[in-house]
Amino acid sequence: MQFYLGDESVFIGQTVANTIATQKVASVDFTIMTKVRRNCSVDELLTYGRQFMSFFGSCPNTFGGLARLTLENLRLGESDFPKIFSICNQLEFLRFQQCDAGNMSLLEVEHEQLRELLIFCSSIKRVALKCVPKLTILKINAFMSPEDPFCLGYVPLLQTVTVINTGLSRHKMLKLSELLGKTAISTLHLNFKCEKIWVKPEGRKQLLPVFHKLRLVNLINISEECDLTWTMFILQGAPALKELCIMVRDHLCEMTTGEVRKRFTYSEKKDKGLEWEPSSPDFKHHNLAELRIYGFQAEDRFMRYARNVMEAAVNLEAMNLYRNPGCDKCKHTLSGQWTWTEMLLIRDKINNGMSSHARIHFPS
């Protein structure tokens, strides 16, 4: 069910509770929206927070039967989040959109059944996953704090981690070896929103404990200002990696420009701190099968990177090179399909003197 928080909420909740009591319902999914969806004021956040907790307190049986819950635009008290986790003890999926206990507050999560957690709250200083034994998917979208956006406690089944953030000058370079702790994830998605790269390249020794089961990596929205050489640290730290996907673009439809950049301390040097040296000049990777690059350009730095990956990944099967993938607003301004001349030129420059069996494709 998807509905607005308001006067009818209690009626909806009690009706659902009566239905759950029949034991003929397999799963209950609530998406609770607020009448103001974006750019809520502090007063609106507080008002919605009080309305929700009143609704929550009136229908404990309803929330105790939920399998999935999505909440937005709530400023709650410090004791409210533990209460939600305690009552909603059957939750498998939870999404918070701009929900917090105050600006730069800490969110601690302890839950026995939760499998998927999505946090879209830039005002939260840190998400502390203290004990979430069944969690497999974690997604963090936007964090304003200069510290690590989350810390991992007991999350033995964590498989997929997604972090999306617009890097500002105050953001430090995150060390994935420290951020991911003692986990051994299989899928990693990092979205840099065409701004500062906020991940620090590390050596194989530091990364191997958390990357030894890594199979898929997506590095999305890397600014066109950045060279791609630094991404090779992923290969060196993840010996089991099968697929690497990279998207390079400056997406002007979404990027902040002009005076606003100075006001919010956007970083003007987007590749600051990306210095990286390979641990071994003759490094070889034996499991990478596919490399996909979106926003590939017929420039020397792209050719050089493609050759570096091909030289290192001795069992590479396919290299798929795409043009810039625009959105519905801007795709008409971008170049269309590759021409035969461009494809032949790129293939020749990448393959020149190489003995790799990898096929180079140019999908639409």
Q: Which residues contact 338 (CB under 8 A, 6 or more apart)?
A: 321, 323, 346, 362
Residue 332: DSSP 8-state: G
Q: How far is CA 190 from CA 47, 81, 138, 165, 315, in A?
A: 34, 27, 12, 8, 25
pLDDT at 262: 74
Are 73 and 50 in contact by the 8 Å Cβ rule? The answer is: no
Q: Which amino acid is at 177?
A: S
- pLDDT score at 333: 65
Global pTM? 0.93
Amino acid at 257: T
For 132, residues 6+ apart whose C-beta sits below 8 A from its C-beta are 109, 110, 111, 114, 117, 153, 154, 155
The per-residue pLDDT for 303 is 94
Q: What is the pLDDT of residue 332?
A: 66
Could you report the average pLDDT of every consecutive run of 10 residues in the chain (364 residues)? 92 91 90 93 96 95 95 95 96 97 94 97 93 97 88 96 90 92 94 93 93 97 93 95 96 76 78 78 92 94 94 95 81 76 92 87 90
Dihedral of alpha carbons 76, 80, 85, 90, sign: negative
CB 96 within 8 A of CB 71: yes
CA-CA distance, 52 to 41, in Å (whole number)? Answer: 16
Which candidate, 82, 157, 173, 72, places its Cα nearest to that of 123? 72
Kindly list the distances between the CA atom of residue 116 and the CA atoms of 154, 188, 363, in Å, as whole numbers in the listed order. Answer: 15, 15, 33
What is the predicted pLDDT for the residue at 265? 79
N residues, the chain: 364
For residues 88 and 180, give the distance between their C-alpha atoms in angstroms, rounded to a whole number: 27
- What single DSSP character describes residue 8? T
